[in-house]
Amino acid sequence: MNQPRPEKNKTFKRSAHFAWEGVKTAYREERNFRFHISMTVIVFLGSLAFDFSPSDYKWLLVAVFVVIASEILNTIIENLVDLVIDEYHPLAKKVKDMSAGIVLISAVFSFIIGLLLFVPKIMTYF
């Protein structure tokens, strides 16, 4: 456990490599992250069936990235709490619950964006 502290990344390429490793770890280890990625693929495939404007796609991208970033942030916070605390503590639960709340709020935001974008397009077929 007493390993030397790793050096700072000296190049952008090395920093990007480790950042990508973090995204891959989130995908591999977090079920909810995989769910959000799957929903992203479905939403963008679904959007191809409609005449989305560049502005519509901008909103979809914002919604998707807010949820994915929130999910990674939630995972970071939960892992840090687990690293610091070995047993149940009400404050640890509070922090984890609030962290999960970030994801919930961003998912609701994204759902509303999806409704605002898709419902008018779907309604043109009725």
Give the active site residues: 71
Task: From 123, 30, 17, 20, select the one nearest 75 (Cα to Cα).
Answer: 30
CA distance 62 to 30: 21
Is 14 annotated in some ligand binding site? Answer: yes
3-7, 19-23, 36-40, 98-102: range with lowest mean pLDDT: 3-7
Q: Residue 6: what pLDDT? A: 72
C-alpha distances in Å from residue 6, one per residue of 29, 71, 93, 95: 23, 26, 31, 28
Fold of 13-123: Helix Hairpins (1.10.287)
- For residues 92-110, give the mean pLDDT: 97
**Share above pLDDT 90 across residues of the chain, in percent, rounded to a whole number:** 88
Would you list the DSSP string of 73-96? HHHHHHHHHHHH-SS--HHHHHHH
Tokens representing 35 are: 């769910």
**Share above pLDDT 70 across residues of the chain, in percent, rounded to a whole number:** 99
Task: From 62, 107, 99, 60, select the one nearest 77 (Cα to Cα).
Answer: 99
Is 121 annotated in some ligand binding site? Answer: no
pLDDT of 1 higher than 80: no
- For residues 104-109, give the mean pLDDT: 97
Asked if 44 and 60 count as a contact pair (C-beta separation under 8 A), the reply is yes
Is 51 annotated in some ligand binding site? Answer: no
CA distance 98 to 66: 16
- For residues 103-107, give the mean pLDDT: 97
Is 78 annotated in some ligand binding site? Answer: yes
